[in-house]
Amino acid sequence: MAEHPAYPVGLRLTGRRVVVLGGGQVAQRRLPALIAAGADILLVSPEATPSVEAMADAGEITWERRGYADGDLADAWYALIATSDPEANERASAEAERHRVWCVRSDDADRATAWTPATGHSEGVTVAVLTTDAKGRDPRHTAAIRDAVVEGLRDGTLVAPHHRTRTPGVALVGGGPGDPDLITVRGRRLLAEADVVIADRLGPRDLLAELPPHVEVIDAAKIPYGRFMAQEAINNALIEHAKQGKSVVRLKGGDPYVFGRGMEELQALTEAGVPCTVVPGISSSVSVPGAAGIPVTHRGVAHEFTVVSGHVAPDDERSLVDWPSLAKLTGTLVVLMGVDKIGRIAETLVANGKSPDTPVALIQEGTTAAQRRVDATLATVAETVVAQEVRPPAVIVIGEVVGVGLPAAR
């Protein structure tokens, strides 16, 4: 039997009886995929691990608390034999053969009539890896091949364009704070499939260098806007490229909806009839403090954090931020785009009741090789920013959480 390669097949088990003998670790590992396949699962075993028991409690499987008995496999389409009793395994295996039920054996792959491949999933496909014959069985190797393929598909290093389902349009992708490893798996895959990428200055610029030469990379800041506003010109560029039938990625820093004008772009695209998908990203407001060793909340210290734009000063009539109310909060304030106005912001917070000793940290170019952290207090931050030449992009954290990190992380 083992001289020929196994014949790979996908079993459609919805509503079909699958019998699992033995409720130990093997069953625990295999049951979730059988449940996901919609199988009607009968587990026969005197005992089960707590996880398997939980599946029975949740009604995902039927559990008969007893040992294997002849006849258990009569109605099965497929069986998994994994008891710790070799003699029961043998008898069950013989019954499976009699009833022509394909059967996996955890104790003897050579005698089994079916093997479980190492499987993984990526965006609508199942990757299943089998060794060619029983002698060459090396589960770690097949699992490693599976991991390499699935990871490659997920992170875009293995490019398999969707020829049937790929539709032209725009993906607004949150690229995370800058470290190329901090983009989402979906964002990276869409980037790998793009014909055109329109990128901001912030975000994972290193990823652009990895794109194949045919991909057109456009710097959003350099799109000429003439009689339009810069944002309108970007919207127009997205629409134009998508209407030429291209897959366009709008790569943005952090999350598209956190001070990222993502909704404006989505609205413009929708109005123009261009299909658009939005991929969330890791916002700098949380990840950049974290990269500098600052948790935005901490038990017993801060039960809230508020993210504010500091791009206009508190006394500017365009400001939508209620700074006097923010001064009364006890939690953490995270200020984005606030380097230029931090002096006025600190003054306003102190004038409205915040202690001048409140710790402040400024993290410039967080998560990149150039990351730096500068510490101050509300009283000293204006002069510190000048003296230390802190420049945008920086995230400013105001509050007691600034002091709770491990000294090594500061």
Ligand X SMILES: C[S@@+](CC[C@H](N)C(=O)[O-])C[C@H]1O[C@@H](n2cnc3c(N)ncnc32)[C@H](O)[C@@H]1O
The least CB distance from residue 397 to ligand X, in Å, is 11
In this complex, which beta carbon is closest to ligand X, that of residue 79 or of residue 258? Answer: 258
Which positions touch ligand X (CB under 6 A)?
A: 177-178, 202, 253-255, 258-260, 283-285, 288, 336-337, 363, 365-368, 392-395
Q: Which of 406, 395, 403, 399 is nearest to 303 (CA)?
A: 399
In this complex, which beta carbon is closest to ligand X, that of residue 283 or of residue 348? Answer: 283
The residue type found at 35 is: I
β-pairing, 332-336 with 394-398? Answer: antiparallel
Distance, CA of 76 to CA of 71 (rounded, Å): 10
Active site residue 375: no
Residue 8: is it exposed, middle or buried by C-beta count within 10 angstroms (0-12/13-18/19+)?
Answer: exposed
Length of the chain: 410
In this complex, which beta carbon is closest to ligand X, that of residue 20 or of residue 394? Answer: 394
In this complex, which beta carbon is closest to ligand X, that of residue 104 or of residue 396? Answer: 396
Catalytic residue among 72, 155, 179, 200: 200
Concatenated DSSP letters for 273-331? T--EEEE----HHHHHHHHTT--S-BTTTBS-EEEEE-SS-TTSTT----HHHHHH--S
In the sheet where 276-279 sits, what is the strand order?
216-219, 196-199, 247-252, 169-174, 276-279
Torsion on CA atoms 112, 81, 54, 150, rounded to nearest 10? -10
User: Does residue 408 sit in helix, strand or coil?
Assistant: helix
Active site residue 222: yes
The least CB distance from residue 26 to ligand X, in Å, is 44
In this complex, which beta carbon is closest to ligand X, that of residue 89 or of residue 285? Answer: 285
The residue type found at 297 is: T
Q: By beta-carbon distance, which residue lies closest to ligand X? A: 254
The least CB distance from residue 135 to ligand X, in Å, is 53
Query: Contact, 128 vs 1, CB < 8 A?
Result: no
The least CB distance from residue 126 to ligand X, in Å, is 34
The least CB distance from residue 395 to ligand X, in Å, is 4
Query: Catalytic residue numbers?
Result: 200, 222
